[in-house]
A = this chain, B = another copy of it.
Amino acid sequence: MLTVAYDGTAYCGWQLQPGKETIESVLNRCLFELTGETIEVIGASRTDSGVHALGNIAVFDTDSSIPAEKFSYALNRRLPEDIKIRASKEVAADFHPRHCESIKTYEYRICNAEFPIPTKRLYTHFTYVPLDVSLMSRAAAYLVGEHDFKSFCSVDTQAQTTVRRIDDVEVWEEGADSIKNAAADPNAYTGNGKAPQTGREIVIRVAGRGFLYNMVRIIAGTLMEVGRGKMPPGRVKDILEACDRQAAGPTAPACGLTLVGYEFLL
């Protein structure tokens, strides 16, 4: 079992696709080079094009004599800079990361500043519209628990049921002090000794047992509508009840999304 971190910018998502470079195709290729075996990993989460991960999971069978714990080091020597293994270990032969109950955690990061910050562009979604984090927090609370999330699911889903359970949602901001100065006075960037840190980021962290297609990105898009004052926090309850994708906000862009990690409930 590999714990895989990647920068999704250059890849067409996780899943194998003919003629396209994906996280899975790179892992399979490096495993072949390392072991001489034709290996097809099984991924826990088939993340979309452009989505990042700190801890996706891949499992595979092998006859290799390399100890399980050493696979991380051996693979990292062959993997490109934008895909790295953070841990490797042996698991039961019948362990399947998608057939095992798990809690997965995502973070959606928003760069909320007057102008885009180049060094954040690849890992956050930028908006200059000021967002109210406390409104977003109140709205997010309605999502916790077991609900029919049909409104938060792209219409082209193949899921048999749209009922899911969200265990926790948190919304917070980072680097706020510096941007407050900047918002009040753009020249604060170059004056008064308070140079900007890395700028204001709003983080939406969602943990749950399984997610529908595009669910976290639609949650992020909806919470942004609340944050900008376009809908009140309580509207999220109505959106859930509507069971209609049209009721929710837009799907926020992929680059802001990171699959943070998995907890398997064995």
Could you tell me which A residues sit within 8 Å of B by CB distance?
Answer: 3, 5-7, 52, 54-55, 57, 72, 76, 81-87, 89, 103, 105, 114-119, 121-123, 182, 186-187, 189-193, 195-199, 207, 258, 260-264
Q: Report the separation of the CA atoms of residues A118 and B52 in the bound assembly, to the nearest whole angstrom.
A: 9
In the complex, the answer to whether A3 meets B190 with C-beta atoms within 8 Å is yes
Q: Are B118 and A6 in contact (CB under 8 A)?
A: yes
A–B Cβ pairs within 8 angstroms, 30 of them: A3-B187, A3-B189, A3-B190, A5-B115, A6-B118, A7-B119, A52-B118, A52-B119, A54-B195, A54-B199, A55-B189, A55-B190, A72-B115, A76-B115, A81-B118, A82-B118, A84-B116, A84-B117, A86-B115, A86-B182, A87-B190, A89-B187, A103-B193, A119-B122, A119-B123, A119-B258, A190-B263, A191-B264, A193-B263, A196-B260
CA distance A3 to B52 in the complex (A): 30
**A122→B72 CA distance, assembly (Å):** 21
